[in-house]
Amino acid sequence: MAEGERSRLWNKILMKYIDFMNNSKTRFIGMTSAYVMTLKEIISKPSKKAKHAIGRYEEIRLKKDTAVRYLLKLDELEGDHRHRATDPYWSLHVYKIKRLIVRRNPS
């Protein structure tokens, strides 16, 4: 085949493949891609069942006896309102978590 014939054949095959992919239903949304492109938003099914509750505890829970330092506010350490490059960002002391309190509806 000549160079031009090869690229025309590739374009024809590629267009058929793209049409097939756009007009076939997907498992997760149950709709064709061509139809979905016209919508503003869709709801899809998850690919796997979640092993834990989703969105319930988004923050990482620390365990008991974990060593932590907390983030300092601007003038918490020195009492001066100016921030210097040598000022620490984290507390100077390391604290251990002795007990955990979990509330259902934190306010």
**3-40 pLDDT tens trace:** 666 677 888 888 889 889 888 888 778 888 889 888 88
Of all helices (H) and strands (E), which one includes residue 19?
A: helix 3-22
Look up residue 70 and give its amino acid: Y
Q: How confident is residue 89, by pLDDT bands cut at 50, 70 and 90?
A: confident
What pLDDT does 58 receive?
63
pTM equals 0.37
Question: At residue 71, does pLDDT exceed 90?
Answer: no
The residue with greater pLDDT, 88 or 98, is: 98
State the Cα–Cα distance between residues 64 and 23, nearest whole angstrom. 54
Return the bridge partners of 90, or none. 71
Q: Tell me the Ramachandran region of residue 64: left when phi exceeds 0, alpha when psi lies from -120 to 50, beta otherwise.
A: beta
Residue type, position 18, single letter: I
Confidence at residue 37, expressed as pLDDT on a 0 to 100 scale: 86
Query: Taking 60 as the threshold, does the pLDDT of residue 107 lie above it?
Result: no
Q: What is the average pLDDT value for the chain, to the nearest integer?
A: 79
Q: What is the pLDDT of residue 94?
A: 92
Contact present, 47 and 28 (Cβ < 8 Å): yes
